[in-house]
Structure 1
Amino acid sequence: MPPLSFLRDSPVPDPSPERLAALYAFTRAQATSNPDGYASNVAWWGQVLAAGLQEGTLGDADGSGSAASSRAGSAFKPDLASASSKGPRDTLVLTVDDGLLSRVTQDGRRPKGLGGVVESLASERSLMRLAAYNALTSGVEQGPGLARRALGAGLGLIGGLVWGKGAPAPEETCWKTAQGRWVHVGNVKVSSRPTYEAAATSFAAHLAANPPLHHSDCLFSRATFLETFATTAPEAPLTKRDVDVLLLYLQRDVGSVQIDGDVASPLGLGEGPITEADRGTLSVKSTLAAVEAQIEDIESQSAKTMDKVRSSLKAGQKAGAAAYLKSKKGLDDVLSKRIATGEQLRSVLRSIDDAKSNAEIMSAYELSTSSLASALADPRLSPDRIANTTDALADVLADSKEISDAIEIGGAQARQAAGAPEFDEDELAAELDVLVLEEKTAQKERAEREAREAVARKEAEGKAAAARKVAEEKQKVEEKEKKEREERERAARVAAAQQAIKSSEKVAEKTEGSKMTEEKERAERERLEKESQRLPAE
């Protein structure tokens, strides 16, 4: 069957029509009658919800939509318009409302058991109330205590003893309680599918591949963080609500980002905690971004105004052209001021980065100075110890040389006593020079011989090439003569055939003439016979 209409890439093998119908028809009551089947259905919907969020098809649109309370049991009014809102949808926050039911509708069917699915996923801590997630003081992996208490106020106990005697809560109650906003913990920290990356993992990979070069590059507001990293996390861009969830996870659970109010900075890129100076730097950076946006807008307006000037001149509207030109001059004046302001802000930002870099360099100098001083303080590097060590080394080397000399003298005396021949070093050197000269002469002769052989090969190749060329020319001449001869023979055959045809035509003409003469004579005889027969009768 075709894939689910609300997923671009189905996270699980497409179910059969019968299986899909069952997945849309089951309710919370199946948890008692068929626990294994219910768990399988919940697992399938868990994968579908995770993939739909990551693909940007199931979340609330661009932070808009229903203003659901994130506390269990609170009144909730779904906003069906959120299903058709424009803009990116949440990828880390699942908004459970009627809009979600509309988005997962397949072939006109709505799932009946989605409330129980949300309850089960919450009990597994795959989903966590947004308010409970924000209230955690420790990471989501630090134990179930606080998170379980927060969930227990809403969903954690509904499926069990609240309704007495272990009976599960009705699906209608589960659905009513499940409505609201939930953080999809798996989409934040762990890939739910091999082809997807969790937001935190992707953020770390992007930062490692694109490390900031300057101090100002390490400072982000929540808005600039969204602009910078929105397209680097899941398959769909992050929304403002996603960024709030991700930043909190990176700060509280991972410890890779420090946040102070609206200022965020990746740890390891900045130096120390966020300061007022950092806030000022971020303010300059934000102002520069705003000025650059204004410059682009003014340049666009100026270009459009100039087009109006040209259009007015073509239409002969000189007064209108003058008015538009005056407007353009005003825009150009504002543009020049904005450009000057932008350059001044860039200069300020460069000065801040330069000062920060200089401070880091001085810190490195101080650290290297203390490291070098600590190394030089090693007792082994004291002048007296160095002098004693080098003196001792010199004595040992002198003793070693005396031993080597004594061994050499003793060896010479032993060879002489054994009658070993003595060699004249000068004579050996002269003989070695002769051998070297002979080798050089042999190399020279070998090189000359190889050169002569190369010349001979080249000449032989030239002669062979000339012979091949002569043979080819001869072959061409013979082929040409053969072709001409064949043409002459063919022309002769054609002429003979034509002559034969003409001769046969003449014979045919003569034969035809003879036949006509005979017929005329026969006709004349018949006429004369008739005439002769008529004469006696008269």
Structure 2
Amino acid sequence: MTGGAATFRETTAGSAEASIAVLLVLSFGYYAQRIGWVNEAGEKQISHLCVTVFLPALLFTQIAPQATPSNLLDYGIIIVLSIFAMFISYLVAFITRRTLETPRWAQAAFVFNNATSLPLLLLSSLEKTGTIRLIIGEHGGSVSDAIARGRTYLLIASLVGNIGRFALGPEMMSNKNNIGNHRSIHSPGGLPDTLYAPSQDSETSPLLSTRRIHTTNSNVWPAIKSAAGKSWSWIAGVLNPPLIAALVAVFFGLIPPLRHGFFDKGTPLNATITQSINYLGQLYTALQIFVLGSKLRSKRGEKLPVASTIVLFVHRFIIMPAIMIGVVYFLRSRWPSYIERDPMLDFALTMVGLGPPAITLAAISEMAKLEPHEDSQVARMFLDHRFFLDPHPMSASVSDYISSLPEYRAGSQRLQSIYSDLAKQRLSNPAGYSANVEWWRRTLSEVTSRGLQAGGILVLRADSLLVDEFRWEKVGRPLGVGYALTSLSTPSTSCPASASFISVKRFLDLPGSIYLSESGIAYRVASVVVGRPLWWALQHAGLVGSDDVISETWGEFVILANVEAAAKAVIDAQRTKGGIGPASALYNFASFRQTFGTLVGNYSGAALSETDVRVLVKHLERDRGSVVVDRQADVIKFIEEGASDRETITTVDKGILEMSVTVAKLQEQVDEIQKRIEERAEKINELLRKKQKELALSMLRSRKELEALLKLRLGALETVQTTLMKIETAAGDIAIMKAYETSTDTLKQLLADPRLQRERIDQTMENMAEALADHREVEEAIALGGAPTDLAEDEDLARELQQLVEQNEREAKVAQQEEAERRREEKAIADLERLGLHPQGPVEADDTKHAERPTPIEA
């Protein structure tokens, strides 16, 4: 059984024992009422005693140590979100009360949850299973510190819950109509009616006042008295013994001298008064459960309202966790630096509104004076919630896992096909046979990787226990698992890795890599071609039964896919580990399992077994070439990536590993000695308080001896650590010098090449210069060949082109002038015609003038 599975079993057993203990106390109360030891009057007396004495004592000892000014200031966000959670729950309770007409106690059950015992028990369970590491992460500090912080956060939240529960709970549960009638007669706190303002409505009062100013003043004072009286009545009605105890506890917590005097260990007040109050508080839980058990019989007959109970369950276990997670995410994303960055704080904030109603609701029902049938419903509600959600992790098993698979939920013929004898399907239904074998491969691999069976997380142990764990009520035992294992463990090629499962013995005995072909093909061919048909024939002949089909394949099998994934995780972790010397690459089998045991597990609680370690190390050594192993000396050495030659384990490696193991053992001894010294100191203080000086003197001598031993061990630890550091430094220097030598030899080999001789270099450079000169001459010849042949002719052509351009420009200008002149003449003639005159020869003169205009000379 793996360590993770054992932890799950231990946690489950502990939680089951706690649940059975609660049931037994309820049974004692039920039986005591049945045989007449407790009657209804006795129930009322015990309940009254719990509410007025035992519960206030419990609240005082729980709240005062946590109600320090630093806690209330530093963790104010817990108080704010606790109030927020109660407000949201109150809104849901109000809506449910209006729509479903729930009983009076349901409103308080919605608002007030189990803020102490359930979250603390859940925190303890997470610590036992190691799941708390997933919450705090790699940089969240030690698990013990995280658990201590988490308890503080949850106790602060319970402080708010307890104060709110006893301040508002009785008012929510009580019959407000009756209370109203009661208050109309006299005050809730038992105050006389003279404290209330007299009525101003009277038949004898005059309609008009003769003294207006006096009447105005006289109306103010009675109004003030009336408001003060109502306020005092409300306060007196709200106050009750548990609330008073909670307020006194807060007062004691806020005053340092009182807090230290009453709650610091070793003080006289703590050993006397506080301890006596604590004894009284410890009586509350057992007596209250005892009374609840008695009420289950004396006030039976009332069932819980189904609709209200369902809504209450959904609200407590689905709606409130979703709301609180969303609020915490919003605060972290919007104001990341406003709240202290602590994963445990986030976890505690999400737990604020989670959980069933608290047992203290029974006390509230006593203060609210519920009707007998309602009181019985409160008792039943506590019993149902107590066992609806157990605060421990579910016991992991094969049956728990397979029940979540679709084949088991559907209950169809698919499951019957999987569980039937696959040998009959191989020929009749090849497609179904292949699908069923693949299903068994996936399922067995997953069951193994989750650590749900005894072999480990890399090795599957196939035996009768595994078959019994797969037994299902509707289909019986899995006959197909035997033939599936045979098929999965038979390689399809000459390469062993072609088989998904490999027997452990064969895996460890293979001399070569599983990824290379091996000899012995004839045997495997005979087993496939002859063995399987022969076994099928014997089965149909009735010579072998279904049990033989299963037991034929019993044994341990290496699941290759799991091994490959684990090897990759180990190599990656070792590569990123780093180190200043060779000690970081050296392990023995025990330290290897301790370092990588939980790292390769994909699920919480899954860890490497001893067989897993042997298989994984063999795979890393033979198939991956990542480690070298000396099994006689118990040494595992990781090889650096890219190493050229085959490394071996040297005497230096063995010495370094031995010193590393010695350092670890000395550190464990130092921690244990320090723990014993602290225990001796506490014991001495306790004996001195009891005036047992002789025993205290003996304990003091023992502490002195431990202190001397601690000094010796610390000296030895420092010496070994210093020596190990020097050895690692020297080993690093050797590696550096080796690199220097290698680089020097390489450089010398390169310089010894004949092509790097001086004469050869000069000759090569001269040849290169001549070649470059020849290349230059060729380029110049090509450039001359492409140049124009007559430069003077080009210049004449350019000059003539320019003259033509200028002539065209002049002609265009003259044409523009002539067009303008013609338009002016046409305009003048048009003007004369409008005046009735005709031009006498100007046109001819113009023509003559135009004819006499000189013609431009062409260039």
Shorter-chain TM-score range? 0.5 to 0.7
The residue number in structure 2 matching 1:6 is: 400
Contact 1:309 1:324 in 2 (8 A): yes
Q: How much does 1:161 deviate?
A: 2.6
Residue pair 1:260, 1:274 contacting (<8 A) in 2 also: yes
TM-score by length of 2: 0.38
Change in 2 beyond 3 A, CA 1:12/1:347: farther
| Contact in 2 for aligned 1:8/1:55 (Cα 8 Å) | no
1:161 corresponds, among 505, 518, 534, to 534
State which of 586, 589, 598 in structure 2 corresponds to 1:219.
586
Higher relative contact order (CA 8 A, sep 6+): 2
Distance 1:335 1:158, change over 3 A: farther
Asked whether the 8 Å contact 1:28–1:170 carries over to 2, the reply is no
Q: Give CA-to-partner distance per residue, 1:261-286, whole Å, 9 cap, x none.
A: 12111122698310122112211111
Q: What does 1:482-501 align with in structure 2 at a 5 Å threshold?
A: none
**1:39 maps to what in 2?**
434
Instruction: Tell me the residue number matched to 1:358.
Output: 733
Equivalent of residue 52 in structure 1, options 447, 453, 459:
447
Cα displacement (A) at 1:363: 0.8
Q: What secondary structure, in the 3-state scheme, does the structure 1 residue paired with 2:636 have?
A: strand
Deviation at 1:128, TM superposition (A): 1.6
| 1:205 paired residue number | 572
Give the drift of 1:315.
Answer: 1.6
For 1:335 and 1:392, the matched residues in 2 are separated by 81
Q: d(CA) in 1 for partners of 2:659 and 2:522?
A: 44
Instruction: Give the secondary structure class of the aligned counterpart of 2:400.
Output: coil
C-alpha displacement of 1:323: 0.9
**Preserved CA contact (<8 Å) 2:688 2:696:** yes
Which one of the candidate residues 660, 682, 690 is aligned to 1:315?
A: 690
Q: Specify the alignment match of 2:410 in structure 1.
A: 16
Tell me, yes or no, if structure 1 residue 182 matches structure 2 residue 557.
Answer: yes
Q: Structure 2: how far apart are the matches of 1:385 and 1:159? A: 75
Superposed CA deviations along residues 312-370 of structure 1, whole A, max 9, x for unmatched, are 11222111111111111111111111111111111221121111111111111212222
The verdict on how the C-alpha distance between 1:150 and 1:285 changes in structure 2, with shifts beyond 3 A counting, is farther
Code of the residue aligned with 1:51 in structure 2: it is E
**1:45-84 pair list within 5 angstroms:** 45-60=440-455
Q: Which residue of 1 aligns with 2:364?
A: none
Amino acid in structure 2 at the alignment position of 1:237: A
Query: How far off its partner does 1:375 sit?
Result: 4.0
Alpha-carbon spacing, 1:395–1:131, altered in 2? closer, same or farther (3 Å): closer
1:445-493: CA deviation from partner (whole Å, max 9, x where unpaired): xxxxxxxxxxxxxxxxxxxxxxxxxxxxxxxxxxxxxxxxxxxxxxxxx
5+ residue gaps, structure 2, are 1-396, 492-498, 773-859
Of the structure 1 ranges 112-121 and 6-15, higher mean CA displacement relative to structure 2 is found in 6-15
Question: Identity rate of aligned residues, in percent?
Answer: 28
- Counterpart of 1:243 in structure 2: which amino acid? V
Q: What aligned pairs does 1:41-440 form with structure 2 within 5 A after superposition?
A: 41-60=436-455, 90-106=456-472, 109-124=476-491, 125-143=499-517, 145-146=519-520, 149=523, 158-162=531-535, 164=537, 170-189=545-564, 198-235=565-602, 236-261=606-631, 262-268=634-640, 272-377=647-752
1:13 Cα deviation from its structure 2 partner = 7.3
Counterpart contact for 1:6–1:103, Cα < 8 Å: no
Residues in 2 aligned to 1:303 and 1:319: alpha-carbon distance in whole angstroms:
19
Q: 2:403, 2:409 within 8 Å by CA — same for their partners in 1?
A: no
Q: Measured at CA, do residues 43 and 396 of structure 1 come closer, stay the same or move farther in structure 2, by a change above 3 Å? A: closer
Superposed displacement of residue 246, structure 1: 0.6
Report the CA distance shift for 1:268/1:297 in structure 2 as closer, same or farther (over 3 A).
same
Cα distance, 1:351–1:147 mapped onto 2, change above 3 Å: farther
Q: Deviations over 1:230-275 (max 9, x none)?
A: 1221312211210100111111111111111121111226983101
Counterparts in 2 of 1:96 and 1:152: CA distance versus 1, 3 Å: farther
Q: Look up the SS of the partner of 1:178 in the other structure.
A: coil
In the TM superposition, residue 144 of structure 1 has moved relative to its aligned partner by: 5.8
Residue 48 of structure 1 and its aligned partner are, at CA, apart by 0.6
Length-normalised TM-score, structure 1:
0.59
The structural deviation recorded for 1:227 is: 1.1
- CA separation in 2, counterparts of 1:177 and 1:396? 83
Distance 1:111 1:396, change over 3 A: closer
How far did residue 396 of structure 1 move?
A: 13
Offset, 1:207: 2.1
Residue 115 of structure 1 contacts residue 176 of structure 1 at CA under 8 Å; is this kept in 2? Answer: yes
Q: 1:375 to 1:123 in 2, by over 3 A?
A: closer
Separation in 1, partners of 2:405, 2:757: 70
The CA distance in 2 between the partners of 1:302 and 1:338, in whole Å, is 14
The question of whether the paired residues in 2 share the 8 Å contact of 1:28 and 1:171 is answered with no
Gaps of at least 5 residues in structure 1 are: 61-89, 190-197, 398-538
Distance, in Å, in 1 between the alignment partners of 2:760 and 2:518 is 63
Deviations 1:143-167 (A, max 9, x none): 36458848988x9964223565896
Structure number with larger C-alpha Rg: 1
RMSD: 3.8
Question: In 2, Cα distance between the equivalents of 1:280 and 1:339?
Answer: 21
User: Which region of structure 1 is more displaced relative to structure 2, 384-393 or 244-253?
Assistant: 384-393
Task: Give the Cα separation in 1 of the matches to 2:655 and 2:521.
Answer: 37
Structure 1 residues 185-243: Cα deviation after superposition (integer angstroms, max 9, x where no partner) = 22112xxxxxxxx1112122222322343111111111111111112213122112101
Residue pairs, 1:498-517, within 5 angstroms: none
Contact 2:398 2:452 in 1 (8 A): no
SS at match of 1:138: coil
Retained in 2: the 8 A contact 1:115–1:171?
no
Q: 2:406 and 2:627 mapped to 1: Cα distance?
A: 34
What amino acid does structure 1 have at the position aligned with 2:636? A
Aligned counterparts of 1:151 and 1:182: Cα–Cα separation in 2? 21
Distance 1:289 1:110 in 2: 49
In the TM superposition, residue 132 of structure 1 has moved relative to its aligned partner by 1.3
**In 1, distance between residues paired with 2:529 and 2:657?**
43
Whole-angstrom CA distance in 2 between matches of 1:211 and 1:9: 43
What's the offset of the Cα at 1:299? 1.2
Q: Tell me, in whole angstroms, the C-alpha distance in 2 between the residues paired with 1:395 and 1:223.
A: 73
CA distance in 2, matches of 1:48, 1:146: 30
8 A Cα contact 1:95 1:180, kept in partner = yes
What CA distance in whole angstroms lies between the structure 2 residues aligned with 1:225 and 1:182? 22
Distance 1:324 1:157 in 2: 77
Q: Hey, what's the Cα distance between the residues in 2 that align with 1:359 and 1:393?
A: 45
The number of residue pairs the alignment matches comes to 362
1:287 and 1:28 mapped to 2: Cα distance?
55
Contact between 2:488 and 2:501, CA under 8 Å: does it hold in 1? yes
Q: Report if aligned partners of 1:132, 1:151 keep a CA contact under 8 Å in 2.
A: no
Q: Distance between the aligned counterparts of 1:22 and 1:380, measured in 2? A: 79
Contact 2:479–2:549 under 8 Å retained in 1: no
Q: What's the CA shift for 1:170?
A: 4.3
Distance 1:264 1:147 in 2: 33
Aligned to 2:388: none
Q: Whole-Å Cα distance in 2 between the matches of residues 256 and 367 of structure 1?
A: 23
* SS of residue in 1 equivalent to 2:558: strand
CA separation in 2, counterparts of 1:310 and 1:144?
72
Residue number in structure 1 paired with 2:853: none
Q: Which amino acid aligns with 1:48?
A: T
8 Å CA contact 2:621–2:628 kept in 1: the answer is yes
Secondary structure (helix, strand or coil) at the match of 2:412 reads helix
